[in-house]
Structure 1
Amino acid sequence: MKWIKSLTAYAFAGFFVPFLWQTVAQPLDHLAGYAAALLIIGPVWYLVHYRQWISTYEKGVTTDMGLAVAIAVFTRALLSIGLGSLDLSLQTAVWVIVGAIIAGLAAFLVERWLWRKKHHDF
């Protein structure tokens, strides 16, 4: 039953974020990112993660709602524009993956440094 709840939450995030982006954030031009964080991502994150619409596991990794949003936006662009959007979408996806790898490496190094600092392993 947990997977149905999680699937519903992912679908909610995947639909809600791109839909509200066009209607709420995009018209604000250069302030769109701030508007999206305050009016879209914050409330969706609160519902999906804090209110635990997505099941979290103690000893496992939980896929973030960002993956659902990315798949929804990518699929929508592919269906709306066609294969012409594929090259731009893939360029963005590659840079997002590179950024995620750098962020993961940085988080690992900080966690390791904090662990060593706590255990006086210098």
Structure 2
Amino acid sequence: MKIFRSFIGFFIACTVISANFGQLADLIGPFGGFLAAIILVAPMWFVCHYLNLVDNKPSAVFVDLGIAVGVCCIFRDTLLLGSSAFFEGLPTILLTALGGALGGFASALVEKDMAKIKEERPIIPEPGMTEYEMKQLKIEEDA
């Protein structure tokens, strides 16, 4: 049932976004892309992820909606405009995948560094305690 729910969620999102995003962008220009993201993508994200129409693991990253819409738009254009549309868009697809991989790598490095800083940082019982107060607290605990 999870796969069926996910399929329905992705189908609705892909249909709504791919049918209307380009029209808003063409009508208003670059601002139309931002407007389409707010009007179209945000509600689809809400339905798929927040309402949990699409099965999400607690530790997973929510890139599945972007992949679904991207693949939908690629195949829609390939079916409507022919295989030349796919090959013309291939450099963009590859660079997008490379950018996603680099972004994931950078995110992993940042997360690893944040975990290291968290381990090195002493646990402070109360926010705003000075080093002198921490030393006094340790002396009282040791005694």
| Alignment deviations for residues 66-114 of structure 1 (CA, whole Å, 9 cap, x no partner) | 1110111011110111011122221111010111011101110110011
Mapped partners of 2:49, 2:61: distance in 1: 13
Mapped partners of 2:120, 2:11: distance in 1: 45
Match of 1:7 in 2: 7
Mapped partners of 2:42, 2:74: distance in 1: 22
Mapped partners of 1:48, 1:2: distance in 2: 12
**CA RMSD for the aligned pairs?**
1.8
TM-score scaled by structure 1?
0.89
Mapped partners of 2:63, 2:3: distance in 1: 12
TM-score scaled by structure 2?
0.77
Please report how far the alpha carbon of residue 116 of structure 1 lies from its aligned counterpart in structure 2 after TM superposition.
0.3
Mapped partners of 1:38, 1:66: distance in 2: 15
* Kept after mapping to 1: 8 A contact 2:24/2:33: no
Does the residue aligned with 1:57 lie in a helix, a strand or coil? coil
Distance 1:9 1:108, change over 3 A: same
Report which structure shows greater RCO (CA 8 Å, sep ≥6): 1
What 5-or-longer segments of structure 2 have no aligned partner? 122-143
Deviates more, 1:71-80 or 1:56-65: 56-65
* Kept after mapping to 2: 8 A contact 1:14/1:71: no
Match of 2:136 in 1: none
Matched, 1:52 2:52: yes
